[in-house]
Amino acid sequence: MCGILAIHGLDNPASQRAHAIAMSKRLRHRGPDWSGCFVGKDSILVHERLAIVGVDTGAQPLTNKSGDLALCVNGEIYNHVALRKGLKMPHKFKTHSDCEVLLYLYTEHDTGLCNMLDGMFSFALIDNSRTPSRIVAARDPIGITTLYQGWSSSQPGVVFFASELKALADDCDKIISFPPGHVYDSATGKTERYFNPTWWDTDSTKPVPTTKVDLKLLRETLEAAVRKRLMSEVPYGVLLSGGLDSSLIASIAARETDKVAQELMQRRQRHLLVNGSSTPTHGPEEYPIASWPQLHSFSVGLPNSPDLLAARKAAAFLGTIHHEYTFTVQEGLDALEDVIYHLETYDVTTCRASTPMYLLSRKIKAMGVKMVLSGEGSDEIFAGYLYFHAAPTPDDLHVECVKRVKNLHTSDCLRANKSTMAWGLEARVPFLDKAFLEVAMNIDPVEKTFGKKEYDEDGRPKMEKYILRKAFDCAPDGKAYLPDSILWRQKEQFSDGVGYSWIDGMKEHAEGLVSDEAFAKAEQRWPVDTPDTKEAYMIREMFERLFPTEAAASTAVRWIPRKDWGCATDPSGRSVTIHKAAYDAPEDA
């Protein structure tokens, strides 16, 4: 991940260079390793770099040999080696960066390059060979990376792009969160969808999937998604909450890291025999996966919280070097305004869950780790949130799953990206791999339904995310992926799992902070997205202090559970009636 800023349509860009750099400085937490600036004939690109691949040569903005093209990218392109090999014309690469290939894909495929990319990315590309110059900007299919677009009424014809809202808030009076899976082209002035997977539409013309689950395909596609995300030249780790999703990712990563360690050892031994040196070099198309001798895992919670206890058990089973951090409710409350500054949203669920993740990320970065794998996306794909049990029909469940995946960029992806990048730590999310989504989102939703009293032929509870659990219940090599107590652990939403006292503490703090009189006037103060609790009021007030403009507030999205399914307005998993410690409760329970 990095921070990018692009301004296009300027009359005198050279005179705006210093101001553009000042705007970009607000993104420097995203890329503390280097800063770069490109000034074109009517455009400026600024880049704040977090070096993970092509560490020694990949500084941006990247340019082609003639200097006509300039590029800033935030993210990782996992299939960059294959893309290089597939180029039609010979091109002289300047760096080992996974992003440079975008320059030459553009020359050969124009905006069609977006559908060729496998990764998480936001980019801005300036084509100075045209008059006026052309800017092309795009965001990855699901919105794992963040990107905002803005306009200023005082500078008609100028368009702004930035990785975070804060870089644009003082200069733009209209700002949008750039839509995932879309590409903007200044030559046409249009923003168009390029990502159109088979599962995307849920209208009457598109039937609900009827494909029965293939457990082997599900398992192998997720394993491949994890494997490609281990592309790194710096130390990495895994976020481990002890829940199903993060534990599965950690399990697969541990297996893959062991394989890589063995491969690197064999490579060094061969190199030593041939060259008398134990340190083989690598060329631009061979990137060794950098890892510590063993995989490191990281968890956070209040003392003795459900997640800490489960993560400890999972880590012991997987053999990771485990790091456990605790925080107090007061420490969380002290960090809350800083969290909202980095999140740039007033959504209650996101703020609750992001605070412990923000605190943990600071600890991880202090250890020298720059990249972690995380488990976001699984609950949306597999109907894992407990409220899904209230879906009236399997068809309704499928429509809700698609809706939740489409909106991940407003919630869990935003949290994972901004909570970690506040400290220059990159989070990668294998569950949102394009190939894995194509498999998982096309499964018959009947296979994703669950209830409290249903069991399979092996006596396993048909609980939430049953098919994902079942896919990893037995490994081909006979070695279990996870202990049963983790593989079949019930869903805990992250803000619950770190310790129920955290949410209760936020509510209590808000009760003392927001008066009854002020809360009674909430609708007058905020007629749009009116806070319905004092906790929501407190968070909205903090957001407004940090981002006082209507343009900034318009980019935030608040999530509310499905009232039409009979769900409580509080997004905590504890508010769902199916939340029980065991599925084998007596019939009269």
For residues 406 and 437, the answer to whether their CB atoms sit within 8 Å is no
Dihedral, CA of residue 102, residue 106, residue 109 and residue 113, to nearest 10 = 40
98 is in an annotated binding site: yes
Stated length of the chain: 589
CB 229, CB 438: distance < 8 Å: no
| CA neighbor of 439 nearest in space, from 223, 230, 248, 256 | 223
Q: What's the CA gap between 428 and 421, in Å, rounded?
A: 11
To the nearest 10 degrees (0 to 180), the angle between helices 534-546 and 500-513 is: 80
Q: Is 451 annotated as a binding residue?
A: no
Which parts of 135-179 fold into alpha helices (H)? none
**Cβ(23)–Cβ(175) below 8 Å:** no
Q: Please identify every residue annotated as catalytic.
A: 2
d(CA 192, CA 476): 43
129 known member of a binding site: no
Rounded distance, CA 241 to CA 299, Å?
6
Give the gyration radius of the chain's Cα atoms.
24
* Secondary structure letter of residue 135 according to DSSP: E
**Alpha-carbon separation of residue 337 from 411, 524, 542 (angstroms):** 18, 23, 6
Q: Is 402 annotated as a binding residue?
A: no
Q: Does 374 appear as a known binding residue?
A: yes
Burial of 524 (0-12, 13-18, 19+ CB in 10 A): exposed
DSSP codes of every residue in 292-323:
-SS-EEEEEESTT-HHHHHHHHHHHHHT-EEE
What's the sign of the alpha-carbon dihedral 455, 458, 459, 462?
negative
CA distances from 350 to 356, 363, 398, 405 (A): 11, 20, 23, 15
Residue entry with tokens 């790194």? 232
Distance of alpha carbon 511 from alpha carbon 499, whole angstroms: 20
**How far is 571 from 499, CA to CA, in rounded Å?**
15
Helix, strand or coil, per DSSP, at residue 397:
helix
Q: Is 81 exposed, middle or buried (0-12, 13-18, 19+ CB in 10 A)?
A: middle
Q: Which amino acid is at 420?
A: T
| 3-state DSSP assignment of residue 517 | helix
- Could you tell me if residue 557 is left (phi over 0), alpha (psi between -120 and 50 degrees) or otherwise beta? beta
581 is written with which tokens? 């410690």
Written as one string, the DSSP assignment of 65-85 is TTS-EEEEEEEEETTHHHHHH
Binding region for L-glutamine: 98
Annotated binding site for ATP: 239, 300, 374-375
Residues making up the binding site: 98, 239, 300, 374-375
